[in-house]
């Protein structure tokens, strides 16, 4: 019998249940599921959209070019080790050709992320980009909001603070936006009582 997300009492059993998931067609095209990187409990959780090619191959979120930038934000900017923060995605499987996740794929995958958040227990969640930010704030369909209207603010989700910022892939294409991302990261750090390592 397949285990539901709610029945998983720890991250290891949740990771194993995700690895067996065939609830949507992405199971047929993935190399492997991509569950998370980081500790089993974390004060801060970064959430991206979905694994890309490198992540599908390695099984670890944010390991490509965008991942290297996220690592710099965490290590050079925040002064933390990447291994101290949790990193995950809304979707646990790669959409072919890195297309946008469908509404149905996102809906089907949601219980895994919801349970992952409960078990990780972050005080602050930083969704990366429009898809993850809208998803985590429960916005969908025609109501979808732009990053401009979501970022530079602290939102609330089930007692946790949510600080949306740009996706690192967007920052690679639009380096001018890095200073705005840094403002969001400083906002998140302030909520955790952390001092930034470098000036923005």
Yes or no: say if 51 and 96 are a contact pair by the CB < 8 Å rule.
no
The minimum distance between CB 67 and ligand URA, in angstroms, equals 6
Q: Which residue is nearest to ligand URA (CB)?
A: 48
N- to C-terminal Cα distance for the chain? 51
Which residue in the set 21, 30, 51, 93 belongs to the binding site for ligand URA (CB under 6 A)?
51
Q: How many residues in the shown chain lie near ligand URA by CB under 6 A? A: 12
Q: Which of 11, 21, 50, 189 binds ligand URA (CB under 6 A)?
A: 50
Q: Which residues contact 17 (CB under 8 A, 6 or more apart)?
A: 2, 3, 4, 5, 7, 8, 112
Q: Are 86 and 120 a contacting pair, CB within 8 Å?
A: yes
* Residue among 55, 56, 105, 180 that touches ligand URA (CB under 6 A): 55
If the CB atoms of residues 17 and 169 are measured against ligand URA, the closer one turns out to be 169
- Nearer of residues 55 and 180 to ligand URA, judged by Cβ: 55
For 113-132, give the secondary structure using H, E and C: HHHHHHHHCCCEEEEECHHH
Output the smallest distance, CB 91 to ligand URA, in A.
8
Cα(157)–Cα(114) distance, integer angstroms: 11
Angle between helices 103-120 and 11-19 (to 10 degrees): 160
Binding mask of the shown chain, residues 127 to 166, with x at each position contacting ligand URA by CB under 6 A: ----------------------------------------
Supply 29's token pair: 């095209």
**Where along the sequence are the contacts to ligand URA (CB under 6 A)?**
48-52, 55, 61-62, 66-67, 89, 169
């Amino acid at each position: 019998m397949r285990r539901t997300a709610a029945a998983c009492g720890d991250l290891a059993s949740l990771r194993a249940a995700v690895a067996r998931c065939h609830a949507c067609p992405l199971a047929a095209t993935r190399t492997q599921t991509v569950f998370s990187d980081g500790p089993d409990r974390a004060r801060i959780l970064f959430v991206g959209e979905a694994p890309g090619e490198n992540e599908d191959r390695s099984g670890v979120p944010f390991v490509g070019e965008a991942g290297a930038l996220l690592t710099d934000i965490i290590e050079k900017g925040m002064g933390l080790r990447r291994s101290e923060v949790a990193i995950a995605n809304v979707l646990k499987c790669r959409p072919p050709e890195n297309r946008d996740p469908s509404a149905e794929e996102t809906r089907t995958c949601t219980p895994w992320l919801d349970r992952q958040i409960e078990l990780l227990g972050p005080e602050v969640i930083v969704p990366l980009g429009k898809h993850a930010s809208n998803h985590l704030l429960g916005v969908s369909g025609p109501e979808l909001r732009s990053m401009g209207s979501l970022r530079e603010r602290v939102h609330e989700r089930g007692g946790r603070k949510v600080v949306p910022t740009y996706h690192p892939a967007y920052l690679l294409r639009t380096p001018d936006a890095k200073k705005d991302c840094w403002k969001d990261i400083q906002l998140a750090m302030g909520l955790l009582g952390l001092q930034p390592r470098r000036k923005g």
